[in-house]
Chains A and B, each alone.
Chain A
Amino acid sequence: MARYGMALDYKSCINCKACESACKEENGILLGADKHRIWVGVNDIAGIFPDLSIGSSSFEPSQCQQCDNAPCQEVCPTSATYYDDNGVVRVNPDQCILCTYCMQACPYDARYIDDRTLTVDKCNFCSDTRLANGETTTACQATCPTKVRIFGDLDDPTSEISQVLRDREHYSLKEHLGTKPKLFYLT
């Protein structure tokens, strides 16, 4: 059993949105702006011409943080949201009652409603489409032209992600909430 996480070398992101498309394609996500498991956050250029701050412009690709202490799992009344053996936070659509409490509780806006099953859906690290087949990559990682994402087992000290997290400074989003995210932004 692994404990999967993802490191993002986010400064390499060029906002091409290939990851968004790849995720939709691979996981059969419905079309529509708010039906997404993954997104690219955009920090606009600040200032008024000609005093523009180019340095303020950056892209912050993100998705479900696969929290180790996930508020969405804690609040789910029917245990539809659960941790699988790989530490991935997942939703069992048969048990989800669509109370959308998890959407209130997730600090990252990582969840949305799948209109086919009428249940809540989110990134599951491609568990159904890739991990289940023995692959150890995700669609968003594989497609990225600038290789922003490093995906792997955090419990394995020899994995690329473990090494990179040892070597490079990194931060996670809203860590102060105690969610223990497994998405790491490399600085």
Chain B
Amino acid sequence: MQLSKYLPYNKHTLKSFFSFERTPLNMFMVGLSFALVGMLGFGIIEYLLQGHHAYGVTRQHAWGLLIAMYVFFVVSSTGLCIISSMGHVSNIKAFQIIGRRAIAGAIIMILSGFVVLVFEIGHPVRMVIYNVLTPGFTSAIWWMGTLYGLYLVFIILEFFFLNNENHKYSKIFGLSGLIVGLAAHSNLGAVFGFLVARPIANGVFFPLYFILSAMVTGSYLIFLIYGWRYKMKFPPEVEHMLHTLAKVLGLLLAVLIFFEVWRSLTAVYGGMPERADIAIHMIMGANFLVGEMLLGILIPFTIIIISKGKAIKTMVYASVTGMVGIFFMRYDLVHDTQLAPMLNLKIREYSVAPSLVEYIPTSTEWMISIGALGVSFIMYYTADKFFNLDHKESDIH
């Protein structure tokens, strides 16, 4: 039995696997990837030695940078899946060329997310066992985890059939992956939205916002992936796709700004404790103003508006700031949810009761979180080597 009969892949010797054009940019990415993976390794060693004590998380702030990074990765994955589905599921012509590359990216992103999660969840093996044996059906984490598992299976099958040029099955699994992915992802929003104890997070906002911001993230990633693939010398069909994507992204960002404005206003209006005070603290902070708004939304948005979506090369660079902004969105989401102390009278743990719960990520948390990006880079390089991720004539139909 030969694997290549079922899943066409490029055969490589060690030498050909490691051979690439030695441009300064490529060399830089190689160095960066290895540095990141090295960081991840150090972080993991720290974690294995000290457990959760290596992290800055506390009783009041039990979720930290790792959860934020997990969310970052799975948002990216869902985003890529949604954007690629616009092509080969919804048959929007311009996007049909991105299927393979985007789905490979989606698989890589969710796997990287799981890498981070394994070092956050105290007992990952037990999780797999009791998720099945004693499921907690009222738990958004249960649904999120289970649906994401299913999602991963579907998008792997989708990728498999895309590679086999079986467009019927790739469409079926693409649609299944999309539906399950949307369900999983809105459930991840609900993990926060369901928290009655946390007025700042409680409500319908997060499940919807997660889907919207996933689409924004997916678009940024497509710009980055294609900018890298063609080193800014785009063939006409890719250029057309990126032009269309820029317009879609412009619209998505406008809606996102609209979301953020109304979310902030409704949170502040009326001065409800644990909501208004937290919201004011949040929207006055540099994380929100510079990170989320300026880098994440306004810079890319302005470029799209001014150039009417034509400046796709600039958009590739703007997608870097966009992704940094997206990172801030994930971090703030996790951090701000936990800002309000649950019981103000409780000063047992403090000499002076804090008005807001504090959290500073430790170096271990940074090393694992950011280091996991190296895993994504290496997985992408590998996927690019073994599979033909470029579009073919037959992809457009």
* A interface residues with partner B (beta carbon < 8 Å): 20, 33-34, 36, 39-43, 60, 62, 71, 74-80, 95-101, 103-109, 111-113, 118-119, 173, 177-179
Contacts and interface: CB of A to CB of B under 8 A. Distances in A.
Of the candidates A75, A112, A113, A177, the one having the most CB atoms from chain B within 10 angstroms of its own CB is A75
Nearest to A95: B130
A118 B196 CA distance: 26
Contacts of B139: 74-77, 101
Given A33-B349, A71-B196, A97-B130, 13 more contacts: A41-B348, A74-B139, A75-B139, A77-B136, A78-B134, A79-B130, A80-B130, A99-B121, A103-B62, A105-B195, A108-B342, A111-B59, A113-B59
B136 to A, nearest CB: 5
A15 to B, nearest CB: 11
Taking chain B's interface residues, is the majority helix, strand, or loop, or is none over half, making it mixed? loop
Contacts of B51: 118
Contact of B134 (A74, A79, A99, A103): A79
B49 interface: no
B206 to A, nearest CB: 13
- Chain B CB count within 10 A is highest, among A76, A177, A179, for A76
A94 to B, nearest CB: 8
A127 B338 CA distance: 30
Interface centre among B60, B122, B140 (most CB of A within 10 A): B122
Nearest to B346: A41
A75 B126 CA distance: 17
Contact of A42 (B131, B141, B191, B345): B345
Contacts of A39: 346, 348
Interface string B125-153: 01100110111101111100100000000
B29 to A, nearest CB: 34
A117 to B, nearest CB: 10
Contact of A34 (B58, B138, B198, B342): B58
Contacts of A100: 62-63, 122
B197 interface: yes
A109 B59 CA distance: 8
Interface in B332-379: 337-338, 341-343, 345-349
Interface of B: 51-52, 58-60, 62-63, 121-124, 126-127, 130-131, 133-136, 138-142, 145, 191, 194-198, 337-338, 341-343, 345-349
Given A79-B130, A100-B63, A105-B197, A41 B141 contact: no
A119 B177 CA distance: 34
Most chain A CB inside 10 Å of its own CB: which residue of B52, B343, B349 = B343
Contacts of B130: 78-80, 95, 97
A99 B138 contact: no
Contacts of B126: 78, 95-97
A16 B242 CA distance: 68
A48 to B, nearest CB: 17
Contact of B62 (A33, A104, A179): A104
Nearest to B124: A97
A123 to B, nearest CB: 14
Contacts of A178: 196
Contact of A95 (B134, B195, B198, B347): B134
Contacts of B349: 33-34
Given A42-B345, A62-B343, A104-B337, A97 B196 contact: no
Contacts of B142: 77-78
Nearest to B194: A75
Nearest to A81: B136
Which 3 A/B pairs are nearest by Cβ-Cβ distance? Answer: A98-B122, A41-B345, A107-B197
A109 B343 CA distance: 7
B346 A97 contact: no
B179 to A, nearest CB: 22
A109 B121 contact: no
A65 B391 CA distance: 59
A104 B338 contact: yes
Contacts of A33: 348-349
A182 to B, nearest CB: 17
